[in-house]
């Protein structure tokens, strides 16, 4: 799949933007704070109806306007998709796919697939487990609508359970009803997360081996708060064992919302002992593995977004990326093109960005 056209109105520092993109490589060049990343953010928003940079949609709207507009025309093997999104300052959004209104965000997922690689991704390895869970959930949700449904339901029941735990009118029988529902949704979530980690390992082994010239072996390991053998019964028992502690803290202390995954390079935990180069390589391995999983699942490669990351990578990592994107629409932001010229063919399209304007 690939983006044919992108139109923006009152989106961040773009008053009006109309672009036709090349099917292969598109490079946006400019100094910092000119609007390069805003274009990638708008594309990402077209896939997930959320930004990768902020949870506040009103920040996406030009400060002089009341709403912003994103339109993407996406070419696909079977049927092209036109995605239109209006973002309102009151936090609401209106989404249409091929002029049909989308009532739930989950209905948008999978319409258009993207994989983004940005400097902020280093936090996935280095920082809190919530970032790694979010990565798993986003990747799985765009591939599997049933996963997204189970995740939404799980979080809804979890919130209700936590309210009950804090309530003065605590009722053990009502808690048991929540627990049974929680376990059913959790079981599906865990099964799909484990499948995904297995696929990341399958593809990631060869990818990482190639990037590091065989010097490193990578392994992704899921860390579960519940014993995976006989998961449902173990989860139920754990919830009962933790009732007093959960009541005291007012939260549910175990479950998929507390799980994590770890990255090991040569059997060493990358989060704790890995160099910054190794941490970047592990993220790169995950992203390219994700692309292969999307191709395996949908029959098409996603659009690859590279937000100012090439300057952060050494020559081996940079060479791997740029030699692997020939069949993939890739959108790159950077401050200069010198390091790219060797890898770009005559089909690549170059855009110069200056203060919210595209200069060709």
Residue 295, judged by CB atoms within 10 A of its CB (0-12, 13-18, 19+), counts as middle
37 is in an annotated binding site: yes
Which run of H or E residues covers position 352? Answer: strand 349-354
Using an 8 Å Cβ cutoff, are 102 and 108 in contact? yes
| 329-338 residue pLDDT tens | 999 998 887 7
Q: Which residues have CB under 8 Å from 96's CB, separation 6+?
A: 82, 83, 84, 85, 102
Span 229-256, mean pLDDT?
A: 95
Of 1.20.1420.20, 1.10.760.10, 3.90.79.10, 1.20.1050.90, which CATH number belongs to 116-299? 1.20.1050.90
Helices within the chain (DSSP H only) = 36-48, 122-126, 129-143, 145-166, 172-211, 231-241, 243-249, 270-273, 276-298, 315-322
pLDDT at 327: 85
Q: Quick check: helix, strand or coil at residue 268? A: strand
pLDDT at 316: 80
Of residues 211, 207, 151, 206, the one with CA closest to residue 182: 151
68 is in an annotated binding site: no
**Tokens 């009151």, residue located:** 90
Cα separation of 67 and 70, whole Å? 10
| 263-322 residue pLDDT tens | 999 999 999 998 888 888 899 999 999 999 999 999 999 999 999 888 777 788 888 888
31 is in an annotated binding site: yes
Q: Quick check: helix, strand or coil at residue 265? A: strand
Cα separation of 88 and 296, whole Å? 36
Asked if the model's pLDDT at residue 346 lies above 80, the reply is no
36 is in an annotated binding site: yes
**Tokens 């059913």, residue located:** 184
pLDDT at 175: 95
Same fold? 1-113+303-359, 116-299 = no
What is the average pLDDT score of the chain? Answer: 92
Helix 172-211 and helix 315-322, axial crossing angle in degrees, nearest 10: 100
279 is in an annotated binding site: no
204 is in an annotated binding site: no
Of 3.40.50.300, 3.30.70.3040, 3.10.580.10, 3.90.180.10, which CATH number belongs to 1-113+303-359? 3.40.50.300
225 is in an annotated binding site: no
Span 80-98, mean pLDDT?
A: 93
Span 194-219, mean pLDDT?
A: 95
Cα separation of 76 and 98, whole Å? 13
Cα separation of 79 and 102, whole Å? 18
35 is in an annotated binding site: yes
- Domain coordinates of the chain in residue numbers? 1-113+303-359, 116-299
């Amino acid at each position: 799949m690939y983006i044919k056209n992108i139109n923006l109105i009152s989106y961040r520092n773009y008053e009006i933007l109309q672009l036709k993109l090349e099917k292969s490589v598109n490079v946006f060049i400019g100094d910092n704070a000119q609007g390069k990343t805003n274009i990638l953010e708008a594309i990402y928003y077209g896939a997930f109806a959320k930004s990768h940079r902020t949870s506040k949609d009103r920040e996406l709207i030009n400060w002089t306007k009341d709403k912003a507009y994103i339109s993407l025309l996406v070419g696909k093997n079977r049927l092209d998709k036109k995605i239109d999104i209006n973002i309102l300052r009151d936090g609401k959004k209106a989404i249409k796919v091929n002029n049909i209104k989308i009532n739930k965000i989950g209905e948008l997922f999978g319409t258009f697939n993207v994989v983004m690689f940005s400097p902020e991704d280093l936090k996935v390895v280095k920082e809190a487990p919530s970032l790694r869970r979010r990565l798993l959930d986003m990747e799985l949700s765009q591939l599997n609508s049933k996963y997204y449904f189970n995740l939404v339901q799980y979080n809804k029941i979890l919130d209700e359970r936590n309210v009950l735990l804090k309530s003065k009118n605590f009722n053990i029988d009502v808690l048991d009803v929540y627990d049974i529902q929680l376990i059913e949704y959790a079981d599906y979530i865990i099964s799909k997360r484990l499948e995904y980690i297995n696929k990341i390992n399958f593809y990631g082994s060869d990818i990482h081996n190639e990037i590091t010239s065989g010097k490193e072996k990578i392994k992704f390991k899921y860390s579960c708060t519940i014993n995976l053998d006989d998961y449902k019964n173990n989860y139920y028992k754990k919830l009962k064992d933790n009732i007093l502690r959960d009541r005291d803290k007012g939260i549910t202390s175990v479950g998929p919302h507390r799980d994590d995954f770890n990255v090991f390079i040569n059997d060493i935990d990358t989060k704790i002992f890995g160099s910054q180069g190794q941490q970047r390589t592990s993220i790169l391995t995950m992203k390219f593995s994700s692309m292969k999983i999307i191709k395996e699942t949908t029959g098409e490669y996603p659009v690859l977004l590279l937000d100012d990351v090439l300057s952060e990578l050494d020559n081996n990592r940079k060479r791997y990326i740029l030699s692997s994107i020939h069949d993939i629409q890739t959108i790159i932001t950077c401050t200069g093109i010198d390091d790219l010229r060797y890898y770009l063919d005559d089909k690549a399209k170059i855009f110069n960005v200056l203060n919210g304007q595209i200069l060709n």
